[in-house]
Amino acid sequence: MSEIALELKHITKSFGEVQVLKDITLTLKKGHILGLVGENGAGKSTMMNVLGGIYQRNGGEIFLNGTEYRPASPKDAGAAGIAFVQQELNLFTNLSVTENLFITDMPRNKLGIVNKREMRRTVEEKLKEVGAEEISPDTIIASLPMGQRQLVEITKSIMADAKIIIFDEPTTSLSNAEKEKLFGIINKMKEQGKSIIFISHILEDVFARTDEIAVLRDGEIISQRKTSEADAATIIKEMVGRELTNIYPTCEKTIGEVVFETKDICQEGRFDKVSLRVREGEIVGIFGLMGAGRTEYLRCIFGLDPMSSGEVIYRGKQIQPVEPENCIKNGMALITENRREEGLLLPKTLRENIVLSSLKAHRKGNGRFFMNAGKERESTAKMTEDLRIKTFDPNEQTAGTLSGGNQQKVVFAKWVLSDPKVFLLDEPTKGVDVGAKYEIYTIIQDLAKQNSAVIMVSSEVEELMGVCDRILVMNNNRFTGELTKNEDYSAEEIMKYAVGGAM
Amino acid sequence: MNTLKKLKSIDAIYWFVAVFFIAALVFVPGFANLAALERLLSQGCVLIILACGVHLTVLNGGVDFTSTALLALTTVVGGSIMSTKGPLGGSAGALILGLLVMVLLGLGFGIINGFSITTFKMPSFIVTMATQMIVNGLAVVYTGGSSVTGMPSAFAKFGKGSIFIFPYLLIVAVGVALVMHIITTKTLFGRQLYAVGTNHKAALISGVSPRKTIFKAYVLSGVCAGIAGIVMLAYMQSGSVNYGATMFNDIMGSIIVGGTSPAGGRGKIANTVMGALLINMIDSVLNILGIPYYFITLIKGLIILVAASIDLIRMDRKVAR
Amino acid sequence: MEKVTARAGKTADGKRAKELFMDYGIYVILIAMIVFFTVQKPNFLTIGNILLILRTSSVLGIACVGMFFVLIVAGIDISVSMNMYISAVVGGTFLNNLGMPLPVCFVASCLCGLVIGSINGFFVTKVKIVPFIVTLATYSVARGMALFLTNQQMMFLDNKVMTLASAKFLGISAFVFIFLGVVVIAHIVLTCTQFGRQLYACGNNLQGANKMGINGPRTVFFAYMICGALCGIAGMLSACNLGVINPNFSQGDEFVVISSSVIGGASLFGGKGRVFPGAIIGIVMVQAIINGLTMIGASAYVYTIFRGVIIFLAVMVDSIKFSGEIR
Amino acid sequence: MKKEMLRKAFGIAMAGVMAISMVGCGGGGSSSAASETKSSAAPEASAPAEPSSAPSEAASAVESAVSAASEAGTEKSDITIGVSWCAIESQMWAEYQNTIKAECESLGVKYTESVAENDVQKQNQQIEDFISQGVDAIIIAPADGEAVVSAIQECNTANIPVIMANRAAGEGCEVYATISSDNKAMVKREIEYIVSITPEGTKYRCLELVGSLTDVNAIARQEGFEETIAEYPDMFELVSTVPTEWKGDQALAGVQNTFSADDTVNFIFSPSDALLPSIISGLQQLDKYAKVGEEGHVTLVTFVGAADAVSAIREGYVDVVSVQDATNQAKLCVQAAVDAAGGKEAQDYTDAGFEVSTQNVETDYADFTGY
């Protein structure tokens, strides 16, 4: 099995003056899984878009099964047998499963009327193929849970009988069970002789599942080698270009009394009397599989989603009503998992973003209406420096032009400035490259050091074990386990609680 | 180099206004005299005030159709209260009451709009369209369709008077624009408004209440419409249910030509004022040149298209989304 | 967003009732209106009058169908009314000055509408200007052109248009058949063709659609083009109906069309709406208000207020369940 | 004459230049979008120049005729009259406009106009722009006589004589001459006339169409009609009042809806001939369009005196039209304007109008064809 399915030679691509791809040279063998790793902004998405016909390359050659390949549109790529499973789900929530799967290629008669029966039959077959026969082809996507949507997305990629399938961070929104299922499907595809490119931030997965690993950095392929010959330290080094000695920072801090408490939180159809206590200076991790209710819990106690009953208490005082504005007033802060949609004002300057949640504190004197621009600039300068945000001018540069890690730091800066005492962090390092991750962990530790209570939700067990003083495990909208640092931390134990088997 | 950079950073609209104005001064006979300029300035006042109000609603991605209808309702109601033919005989008290009622009417419908949009989550487009019909209907019911005349002399003087070539009405308009400018740029509410307009969810999660902010924007727009009604009444010396009927395009034109993004979150009051002046000047100059009005309509439409296209190109260059 | 599974007991029943009300609130208002008018004037609910309402609705109904296409791709078209005007003028010119047969005139106005629609589509998809602004501008441009072509005067149409206006099959006006025909075709296009489903896809997530290999801009462009073409037909049909094109022809009708479409279930946020029965319900509801008020001999002054209130209520019921961003 | 053309050309060129300069300023960069729009916007911007060349040619043709006339010996060639129209939406106004144009031409007077689309605010602005333009006299056909007072005051200050066409101005301003007709009185007289020719015992069940409720003239005609029929309760019964906003489709719907509610309606009052074609279309669709005296005839009473209305009377379908003598009014307006500009006194004139009916059309008005 050494036939080459896809070969990229010296691909270059630039936007205006910025050269995003400098030299991409890559080979994908038939029936192999190629893992592609690299920091955010290394050029992975651009490379994929070149392959997918969304962008046109500036230079270099691509050979598909030995013949020159130059896609002019996504349709060309599809016709050539290249399929994509995207990081963000590209499903139309207002259409049915069948319609989503056939959206560009519906079977139809001469009048253009589509053959619904034929479509449904094909979809049923394909769904069975990926082991998702529980999904009805006529269901509207909006009524499917996330995991099932991902399965639909995968089904989509096998619709066209693709020879090469590219998975772009497919596991970010999946529970472990779903993840296993996905890898099962990938292996099955491999057995069928399909070639797969697997892009992921999660090194464990890459090591466990791939035949080869290629590292992409700054628009160049740094290395491509057999997985069996690679080790994590080297790969990480190649990704960031420097050696990371300690991924998780530690610091000296004192953990005090219980300051934050959620009591008997109920939400119609989801939570039934869920409680949680956090001490001063403590970092509490919440682990749970997708759909366990972690994100929903944070959003619920922050007042973003309706809460039918329950109390949110800070320092013995009940926060009432539980609405974002009031929660913030009482010292709470929420960092959501999707910063571009919910965290930042992308077209606005860093200054405007950073002072956003403490606007009232930046009013002039004792006045009620007017803003104090000088004070804003001062705070912004301090924050960019403290959190080491890379920017040429925080008063001019817009948040949309920053890299993922820097954007996340701006979100942190926004909250650090308003000085809350309870931090709710939802996947704070999602989509952030390794270097920036470290800095974000440092920020989190610093917060705890300054006597804040931190609740951190993450899908990466390792990360929680590295950062948190205590880990709570959630399953089916309940807390099912609790582990304390250094005593009983073990990934297997956590997973056991998470799948709910042990209880 | 530095001056060039500075010149470049001036928004395009100022250049257009300046170029158009100078060209009109040079080439259009009858334009370059003080009386004509004074007339030009007094014509633009109502548009400036209305555009400033609607500007706020556009900033959060909405729109306010009601403001033009409020122009009709406030002038007939306010006019009938302060009229010398009215029950109060045009006394000073009547004048004050009339002015107050006009602003309150604007405020009231602003509250209704804001409440419906924020509480029932109705799209502003439809809400304000429906309230526009209702407000217009009320104005017609109130007068039976006839005009209201007989403004007290003090009010007439206010409407016709001027300092040098600057009509009193312009001073009101500039005052309103200035207040709006300060509100949008210097105050807490202004910052909240831009934040909500840019990213509704991010604003909510950062403790800025979109509901309160949007509500306030519509209320302010209503108040502006009330004040615009006062200026209109003073300028025309009569109240009519017919006012504002064809103004909406000009209002949106002013805002768009001023570079405000109709998607929300971006745009300056000062530029909208300039936009209003430009639209007004185009109207006037083409009128003086004897261009048929349908060409004026057509040209204004084209200018909106061109201005919006340019704005997008500039944004594309500025922000890589 | 995600469906909350209802719990057993009373609350669920209450909730279901509430949801039912919200889903069918428009129908509740429609029925309430019908009952009100029928009580006031029993001949409101006769076959003849219902057919009449349908007939009165048919012209703007066709424009409504066009508006559905645009609303489904999350756009809006303010220029519909002036598009109707200029198309009617073009069609009328073919009829009067060139002496063309009526079908040719319809083709001419349809083409004219199509051109205006294409201009809208071009600026929305290529230049990427917000549709509201583009169509506001083309509104002015089309109006200016139409007034120029007519020299701002009334344009009388040849008498042969009356044959179409009075034509009846089975006692039902030809207009109704044309309207229903357009609705049926549009319904089939939207539900049973790939293009139709792609329209919904583009309205739901345009960027996603592009990535999926749908030619998003082209699809949206076609939506505007179809809307334009249908407006062209509606314009000529209206002109045939009236026998004359006044300078204020169809002025303000864009509001009627948009509000009817929204009442009929299309969303200003795109991706939603069924032409059948939505477009019919929407426009019939608005026209029934006018018909009913005329029948009960209401004062001329209450018409606009009543219409405004009904539109307000209808949209309110529809919006309460909406959970997205406030605009 | 050349100057005039230059001005127009300049106006259009300026708009074009502006549009292009806007693109130029914005699109200096190298982005592909910029060039895309540049190429798209430029032809758009030049678009107005194309169609406008036609009217300016037409205008120049008129002007050359004017100058020819002035060369032929008329001595008033340097007078310019500005005419501010409320709107040219009915045949009467078209007649008015054509007559004034022709009259100006024959007198060798320059003519310039603006149309306000029935928007009173716009009309005020346009009148003020005439002042800036430096015209010698202004003829105003107001959308609302009360609402133009403020603009007329401006004219008074600028010493430009104002002639009111068709409708009088409100109080508080000086008008040189008023050539008007009293809409309300005319409608009243028209209804009286109908009463006088209607046999005793006839019952009229009336549908009244109302023009725009925001238009004072529509209101005047409505009041005239309603007040008069109230005086004859035995003869008239008002079944329905339908607002039309001067729009044909609403008039048509109003007719159909009313007949659907009440088949016995036998009298329609139309406030303008502009609505008549739509009313007739509605009646034809209902098979109610019969001649006077025939079975099922619906009495049609209308206002203005357009050609199609008069011919319909001649054919016997329409009963009565109240005619404003637009031709004569227009001539008087121009005469008054020329007199005023020449410093002479001008006379007010009230056009009483006349009724043309199926009974008198062949006798008294055999030559009258309407306009």
Chains touching C (3+ CB pairs < 8 Å)? A, B, D
**DSSP state letters, C223-247:** HHHHHHHHHHHHHHHHHHHHSEE-T
Q: How many CB atoms lie within 10 A of CB D153?
A: 17
Q: Is residue B208 part of a domain?
A: yes
C208 to chain D, minimum CA–CA distance in Å?
Answer: 21
Residues 69-128 on B with a CB inside 8 Å of C are 116-118, 120-127
Q: What is the mean pLDDT of residues A114-134?
A: 85
Instruction: Using CA coordinates, name the residue in chain B closest to A412.
Output: B206
Q: How many CB atoms lie within 10 A of CB D106?
A: 14
Per-residue pLDDT tens over the stretch B17-61: 999 999 999 988 888 888 888 888 888 999 999 999 999 999 988
Q: Which residues of B touch D216 (CB under 8 A)?
A: 145-147
Q: Which residues touch B191 (CB under 8 Å, ≥6 apart)?
A: A352, A356, A359, A371
Per-residue pLDDT tens over the stretch A417-452: 888 889 999 988 877 777 788 888 988 998 888 888
Domain extent at residue B208: 43-245
Q: How many whole angstroms separate alpha carbon D357 and alpha carbon A480? A: 95
Q: Are B256 and B235 in contact (CB under 8 A)?
A: no
Q: Which domains does chain C have, with CATH numbers?
A: 43-323 (1.10.3470)
Spans of all domains in chain D:
79-180+328-351, 183-324
Q: Which residues touch B171 (CB under 8 Å, ≥6 apart)?
A: B163
Query: Do you find a cis peptide bond into A321, omega within 30 degrees of 0?
Result: yes
Any CB–CB contact under 8 A between D40 and chain B? yes
Report whether pLDDT(D356) > 80.
yes
Report whether pLDDT(D294) > 90.
no
Chains touching A (3+ CB pairs < 8 Å)? B, C
Reference A159, options A52, A54, A79, A73; nearest CA is A79
pTM confidence score:
0.84
DSSP run (H or E) holding A315: none
Report whether pLDDT(C3) > 80.
no
Among A239-243, A491-495, B224-228, C34-38, which stretch is predicted with the lowest mean pLDDT?
A239-243
What is the SS3 assignment for C46? Answer: coil
Q: Is residue B36 part of a domain?
A: no
Q: Which residues of A touch B204 (CB under 8 A)?
A: 304, 324
A116 to chain B, minimum CA–CA distance in Å?
Answer: 35
State how many domains chain B has.
Answer: 1
What is the CATH T-level fold of the domain D183-324, as seen in this structure? Rossmann fold (3.40.50)
If pLDDT is split at 50, 70 and 90, which confidence band does D138 have? very high
Test C250 with D40 for CB contact under 8 angstroms: no
**C253-263 and C302-319 helices, crossing angle to 10°:** 40
Name the amino acid, one letter, at A10: H
Any CB–CB contact under 8 A between B202 and chain C? no
Report whether pLDDT(A134) > 90.
no
Q: Which residues touch A94 (CB under 8 Å, ≥6 apart)?
A: A140, A141, A142, C200, C203, C204, C271, C272
Per-residue pLDDT tens over the stretch A255-290: 888 889 998 888 877 788 888 999 999 999 998 766
**What superfamily in CATH does domain D79-180+328-351 come from?**
Response regulator (3.40.50.2300)
pLDDT score, position C240: 92
**Residue showing tokens 């009565």:** D320
Higher-pLDDT residue of D210, D68: D210
DSSP D324: P
Instruction: Using CA coordinates, name the residue in chain D closest to B33.
Output: D132
Test D247 with C59 for CB contact under 8 angstroms: no
Triad D298, D304, D305: Cα angle to 5°: 75
C171 to chain B, minimum CA–CA distance in Å?
Answer: 36
Q: Is residue B280 part of a domain?
A: no
Closest in C129, C148, C268 to B309, CB measured: C129
Per-residue pLDDT tens over the stretch B247-295: 999 999 999 998 888 888 889 999 999 999 999 999 888 888 888 888 9
Q: How many whole angstroms separate alpha carbon C185 and alpha carbon C49? A: 26
Test B309 with D10 for CB contact under 8 angstroms: no
Q: Are D106 and D69 in contact (CB under 8 A)?
A: yes
Q: Are C38 and C44 in contact (CB under 8 A)?
A: yes
Residues 210-229 on B with a CB inside 8 Å of C are 210-211, 214
Reference A284, options A483, A451, A486; nearest CA is A483
Q: ipTM score here?
A: 0.82
Q: How many whole angstroms separate alpha carbon A71 and alpha carbon B287? A: 55
What is the average pLDDT score of chain B? 89
pLDDT score, position A175: 67
Among A109-123, A486-500, C102-116, which stretch is predicted with the lowest mean pLDDT?
A486-500
Report whether pLDDT(B189) > 60.
yes
Test D214 with B306 for CB contact under 8 angstroms: no
Q: Is residue B90 part of a domain?
A: yes
If pLDDT is split at 50, 70 and 90, which confidence band does A500 have? low
pLDDT score, position C182: 96
Phi, psi at C187, each rounded to 5°: -65, -45
Any CB–CB contact under 8 A between B246 and chain A? no
Q: Is residue B266 part of a domain?
A: no
pLDDT score, position A289: 66
Q: Is residue B180 part of a domain?
A: yes
Phi, psi at A259, each rounded to 5°: -115, -30
What is the SS3 assignment for D244? Answer: coil
Question: What are the strands of the beta sheet with D267-269, ordered from one edge?
Answer: D236-243, D204-210, D267-269, D299-304, D320-323, D354-357
Q: What is the mean pLDDT of residues C134-149?
A: 93
